[in-house]
Structure 1
Amino acid sequence: MELTYILDAKSVRAGLKASSKKRLLQELAEIAEAEHGLKSGAVFDAVQERESLGPTGMGGGVAIPHARLEALDKVIGIFATVAKPIDFDAVDQQPVDLVFMLLAPQEAGAEHLRALARVSRTLRNGDVCAKLRSTNDPSAIYSILTEAEASRAA
């Protein structure tokens, strides 16, 4: 699954000012509402429920909060950098400043897992993360994410 299938440029934000994990998830849910027409409350509740099962901070300053929603017909992504890293209960106890929220249809078993694997592989690349942290331009961030994918395909 390609990142360009799940993430579009309008769903990328830079320098979010959230001061807590809860507030960050609320802001990402608001982006999901603004850009994809989803109800922010439903998105937030679904992601919070998933977080209660175990935090999605994968280490290295990266988190991939995710949830399944009835209102979707395909997997969508929202990516943001955070101005000041926040505690996300990550496995390495490091604060998070790169967040890729994945939202999938309720029945998207394999598709959801493929998307999660693709995002995880991309954000485990130290060079990609360094480039993402070096800019506050959402269009440049989108290019970095999609170019990382294109260079793997070459």
Structure 2
Amino acid sequence: MTLGNLLTVDQILPEMKSTERWSAIVELVDLLVAQKQVKPADRDIVLGALRQREETMSTGIGFGIAIPHASSDRVDKVVAAFGRSMTGIEFDSLDNAPVKFIVLFVVPKDQFQTHLRTLAAIAKFLNDRNVRERLGTAVSAGEILSIFENDGAGKP
């Protein structure tokens, strides 16, 4: 499984509306609900898990990247969404820089190894400056998805 396998064109927002961390997380979770990756009845529980993780420490890891993530018994497979903001989102990142790329994912509860592998694969993939530059200039969700697919995007 690669990150390209976790995303579809419909789970990618080429330009997010949000300008701050919490609204960005809500925007991506609402996208997962709209795409039937998270049940509407489970939305608030999944958001709560993400908020709890985010309050421990911001998932803004620097270089314009944030990887909000959580585990939940409300999903039975890894679900993910990608959002891009050309203007940048205030995310309380480690380097205090605005975030341009957000990969949000939720892993089924008790799949600790899957959680760690997914997080590591995303971080490693986005750590590549060339990948970030290409994601920044991609003009559509389809083009963004092809970057995730064709570059391997790490194997969780």
Structures share fold, TM-score greater than 0.5: yes
How far does residue 136 in structure 1 lie from its aligned partner after superposition? 3.4
1:82-121 equivalences in 2 (<5 Å): 82-121=85-124
Q: Which moved more, 1:138-147 or 1:74-83?
A: 74-83
Larger RCO: 1 or 2 (CA < 8 Å, sep 6+) = 2
For 1:20, the equivalent position in structure 2 comes to 20
The runs of 5 or more residues in structure 2 that have no matched partner are none
Q: Which moved more, 1:28-37 or 1:90-99?
A: 28-37
For 1:80, the equivalent position in structure 2 comes to 83
1:13-92 equivalences in 2 (<5 Å): 13-35=13-35, 36-38=37-39, 39-92=42-95
1:78 and 1:100 in contact (8 A); partners too = yes
Q: d(CA) in 2 for partners of 1:7 and 1:111? A: 16
How far does residue 82 in structure 1 lie from its aligned partner after superposition? 1.4
Corresponding pairs, count: 152
Identity %: 28
Q: d(CA) in 2 for partners of 1:139 and 1:145? A: 10
How far does residue 14 in structure 1 lie from its aligned partner after superposition? 0.8
How far does residue 44 in structure 1 lie from its aligned partner after superposition? 1.7
The SS at the match of 1:149 is: coil
The SS at the match of 1:46 is: helix
Q: Which moved more, 1:29-38 or 1:90-99?
A: 29-38
Partner deviation per Cα, 1:75-124 (whole Å, 9 max, x = no partner)? 12111101420111111111001000011001111011111111111110
Q: What amino acid is aligned across from residue 67 of structure 1 in structure 2?
A: A
The SS at the match of 1:15 is: coil
How far does residue 42 in structure 1 lie from its aligned partner after superposition? 2.0
The SS at the match of 1:85 is: strand
Q: d(CA) in 1 for partners of 2:65 and 2:73? A: 26
1:12 and 1:80 in contact (8 A); partners too = yes
The SS at the match of 2:151 is: helix
How far does residue 37 in structure 1 lie from its aligned partner after superposition? 3.3
The SS at the match of 1:23 is: helix
How far does residue 43 in structure 1 lie from its aligned partner after superposition? 2.2
The runs of 5 or more residues in structure 1 that have no matched partner are none
For 1:141, the equivalent position in structure 2 comes to 144
